[in-house]
Amino acid sequence: MTNSKTVLIAGASGLVGTAAANSFIRAGWQVIACSRRYPDLIDAGPFTHIPLDLQDREACELAARHLGEVTHIVYTAVFELPGLVMGWADPQQIATNGEMIRNLIDPVASLGKLEHVTVLQGTKAYGITQGPIRIPARESQPRVTHPNFYWVQEDYIREKSAACGFGFTVFRPQLIVGPNHGVVMNLPPVIGIYAALRREEGLPFGFPGSIDSVWEAVDARLVGNACLWAATHPHSHGETYNLTNGEVFSWLDMWPAMARALGMQAGNPEPVSLATYLPERESLWQDIQLKYQLRPVPLDQLLGESHFYADLCFAYGAKRTPNPTFVSTVKIRQAGFNEVHNTEESFCFWLNDLQQRKIIPG
């Protein structure tokens, strides 16, 4: 049965935007995908794409004239500076992300049909970039004041929802894993490219971090389904929820399974900065693409900023074990959303997906 609601996915070519679009399409919603580049991984069914630069307020106002049926927005767009991590506290990065969400939601909300907005944050909200955080981090804990765009967007959404009468939900996913390449934070493409380069150089495929650590992750499919759940459950309005797969993992423990998925043997750990190693081998990667008849996507368009994210996640250059970032997901489970994923299977699933789509060698 077709849903009478229409959802606008902002940032639809990204990791969460793609997953959310697929979840809503499968549920029978009318989906409008908004992104600068065409979201080629939305595969659940028909959707409408609007190419739009959210930094262009005039363009957003013109586009809104054709969005009169939009009842829900899933806002997943993000602006990051080159190098990623060092830009997280940058005033320009913070201000730009604040402007982007206003540029889109102001004109759409003025049309009068908007019922709910979902906004994405992350576990940086708990202040992990400033020092140790409480374990587990809970949504009820007081806001940790530090420079980031989360608070700019959240304060705007709270004020706007009160003025216009729509509901909102904030999600804080932890280390999202999915199919998208060329995005700011997704590890499977980086791991797959690293493995292919090591094999071609006759070098072992070992964990490239300096120190193993214990993490949580969340499959993009779970995040997409959570966005759908929030849109259809009014008791989620005004709430913030952490999102994880429901378990912890260590990189060293999971590395052999990823090696098997890539057809390799796991070597001994060897610290390697992927932010440096991968771009330096652009010519070799082009040879690999020709040898294995891969899609001829330039290396920088495959990596996005995710190789910088990999160095952070793998604790490259760290002298001690990083402060843990464990979050409680009790709140969303008690609210009725109980989807979980096996994290090892999740990483291997998306590595195999990259192989099947001829992004990395099979």
For residue range 237-254, what is the model confidence (pLDDT) as tens digits? 999 999 999 999 999 999
34 neighbors 78 (Cβ within 8 angstroms): no
3-state secondary structure of 168: strand
Where do the DSSP E strands lie in the chain? 6-10, 30-35, 48-51, 72-75, 116-120, 167-173, 176-177, 214-216, 218-219, 239-243, 248-250
pLDDT at residue 1 in the model:
41
pTM: 0.96
Among 100, 316, 108, residue whose Cα is nearest residue 194? 316
Tokens of 264: 């390799």
Burial call 115-131: b when 16+ CB within 10 Å, e when fewer: ebbbbbbbbbbbbbbee
Specify the 3-state DSSP secondary structure of 268.
coil
Task: pLDDT tens for the chain, 362 residues: list them.
Answer: 456 799 999 999 999 999 999 999 999 999 999 999 999 999 999 999 999 999 999 999 999 999 999 999 999 999 988 988 887 889 999 999 999 999 999 999 999 999 999 999 999 999 988 899 999 999 999 999 889 999 999 999 999 999 999 999 999 999 999 999 999 999 999 999 999 999 999 999 999 999 999 999 999 999 999 999 999 999 999 999 999 999 999 999 999 999 999 999 999 999 999 999 999 999 999 999 999 999 999 999 999 999 999 999 999 999 999 999 999 999 999 999 999 999 999 999 999 999 999 999 99
Tokens at 137, concatenated: 């981090």
Tokens of 285: 């990667």
DSSP one-letter code for 266: B
* Residue owning tokens 């330096």: 280
> In sequence order, what are the residues at sequence separation of 6 or more whose Cβ sits closer than 8 angstroms to the Cβ of residue 194?
205, 208, 272, 274, 277, 278
Domains and CATH numbers, the chain: 6-174+219-243 (3.40.50.720), 177-217+248-325+342-356 (3.40.50.720)
| Tokens 């009169």 belong to residue | 68
The pLDDT of residue 83:
87
Residue 255 to residue 260: CA distance in whole angstroms: 9
